[in-house]
Structure 1
Amino acid sequence: MCGRYVLATPSTDLVALFEVDEIGEGLPEPSWNIAPTTRVAVVVEPAPRDERPPIRRLEAARWGLVPAWAKDVSVGQRAFNARVESAAEKPMFRDGVRSRRALVPADGWYEWQQGAEAKVPHYVHGEAPLSLAGLYAWWKQPDGSWLLSATILTTAAEGPLAAIHERMPVVVAPAMRDAWLDPEEDGEAALEAVVAEAPEAAGGLAMHAVGRAVGNVRANGPELVAPAP
């Protein structure tokens, strides 16, 4: 699973990297310890309402998907991850698979490995910001405003990553970002395609053990990703 991750890359760099057309309001500050229910940056490409081409946007979203039919925002607390094996069928996620797919920029993520006495956190990262496969939804809040929320898709870990944890986020290869975001693409086919390429996309990632301070949601700063002594 992916329950904590890092995004310290400035929004200006993300705009260039993901070829963003417009930037939304309230984007989160750089963070080395992003936790569920907090605001995260997502790249989305909503279906246009007229003949104009789609507009790619960098938006702030609540991490934990709240579907349109939810009665309460708390539904999202248990929907910060979605398993690729069942996302296309589950009512919580299937509309997202069909036409509301997102990219979640990340410098890396944390995973906990069971040790002899306690779980040991590891930081998994690349040389450049990663794009994690996500889904998004809009939910009308009691005050009439709209909440954008998102979830991160996970798949079975392979290679060295499997030694840390059995699950991992789906890393979208750069060449597949456009098709994944395109709301006109067949959702299930897009999902199958990114999952098939995920092992290769994640093949060059590095990982190392870090200090246990990352387990505290209030802890933040670049020291969290430093290798443990």
Structure 2
Amino acid sequence: MCASYGLDPRFTDAELLAEADADVIEGLRNWAEQNAGETLRPTGKNLRNLNPLVVPDGDAVTLEPAWWGYLVNGEPAKFPSINTRSERLQERPGGLKTRAIVPSTGWFEMQKPARLWHEFALDNQALFGMAAVTQRGRTPDGEWITCYSIVMAPAADHLKEFHDRMPVLIPPGMSQEWLTGPPSRELIDEAILASGELAERITVSARP
């Protein structure tokens, strides 16, 4: 599953949205620079790490600070919630009611039993999007905020030696449909199929 991911301000290009949105791209670059390209971690009970999320805004899109993982009764859920299996959404498409795209330049997994971290990124180091489902949650200080869970599917064949799961990647041509299309089995099926276009371009590098 996706243990952590990063957003490096040095990304060369953006393969994120169907239509170029300069404000979104600039906002992401500024956020990444302020956070020094830091790897993101799930937010703990006593932490407050809000991350940029691409969400629908009428006929356009916007960036919204969001909490990775679900909040229940003012604290992080006691069940695993930073990732959601694509199979679960195929069986229960009602979980697709609200969706977002997680901007990233790479995600990280630990290969066992060697306990060696690896980074998964596009071959041209471009910014890309990972599928997410969202819901509202209340923070420990009482504020209502968007929470998100990254959608995970079986890994592409060339990545399975490192990890058996990977995020569902949303290519630019499917960004609007993923964000605004009706929640259905067909939508998640199409997203998984489209993910293969980008997955074939993912390269892996060991991390210290």
TM-score strictly above 0.5: yes
**Aligned partners of 1:198 and 1:32: how far apart in 2?**
25
Match of 2:8 in 1: 8
Residues 136-161 of structure 1: per-residue CA shift (max 9 Å, x gap):
11124576531111110000012221
Residues 21 and 56 in structure 1, CA contact (< 8 A), matched pair in contact too? no
**Aligned partners of 1:160 and 1:102: how far apart in 2?**
27
Match of 1:54 in 2: 59
Q: What are the equivalent positions in structure 2 for 1:217-228 lying under 5 Å apart?
A: none
Of 33, 36, 43 in structure 1, the residue corresponding to residue 42 of structure 2 is: 36
Residues 45 and 102 in structure 1, CA contact (< 8 A), matched pair in contact too? yes
Of 74, 77, 82 in structure 2, the residue corresponding to residue 75 of structure 1 is: 77
Residues 162-206 of structure 1: per-residue CA shift (max 9 Å, x gap):
110111111111111110011x43443221101112222210111
Match of 2:205 in 1: 208
Change (3 A) 1:208 1:140: closer
Q: Which has the higher contact order (CA 8 A, sep 6+)?
A: 2
Change (3 A) 1:74 1:192: same
**Aligned partners of 1:39 and 1:140: how far apart in 2?**
13
Change (3 A) 1:146 1:204: same
- Aligned-pair CA distance for 1:78: 2.1
Match of 2:46 in 1: none
- Greater shift after overlay, 138-147 or 194-203? 138-147
- Aligned-pair CA distance for 1:95: 4.8
- TM normalised by structure 2 equals 0.78
User: Which structure has the highest strand share of the two?
Assistant: 2
Structure 1's consecutive aligned runs of 4 or more residues displaced over 6 angstroms after TM superposition are 20-23
Q: Which amino acid aligns with 1:145?
A: E
**Aligned partners of 1:149 and 1:76: how far apart in 2?**
14
Q: Secondary structure at the match of 2:127?
A: strand
**Aligned partners of 1:152 and 1:186: how far apart in 2?**
16
Match of 1:86 in 2: 88
1:121 equivalent in alignment to 2:123: no
**Aligned partners of 2:201 and 2:158: how far apart in 1?**
10
Change (3 A) 1:140 1:119: closer
- TM normalised by structure 1 equals 0.72
- Aligned-pair CA distance for 1:112: 1.3
Computing the radius of gyration from Cα coordinates, the structure with the larger value is 1
Match of 1:146 in 2: 144
1:97 equivalent in alignment to 2:96: yes
How much identity, in percent, do the aligned residues show?
28
**Aligned partners of 1:3 and 1:39: how far apart in 2?**
16
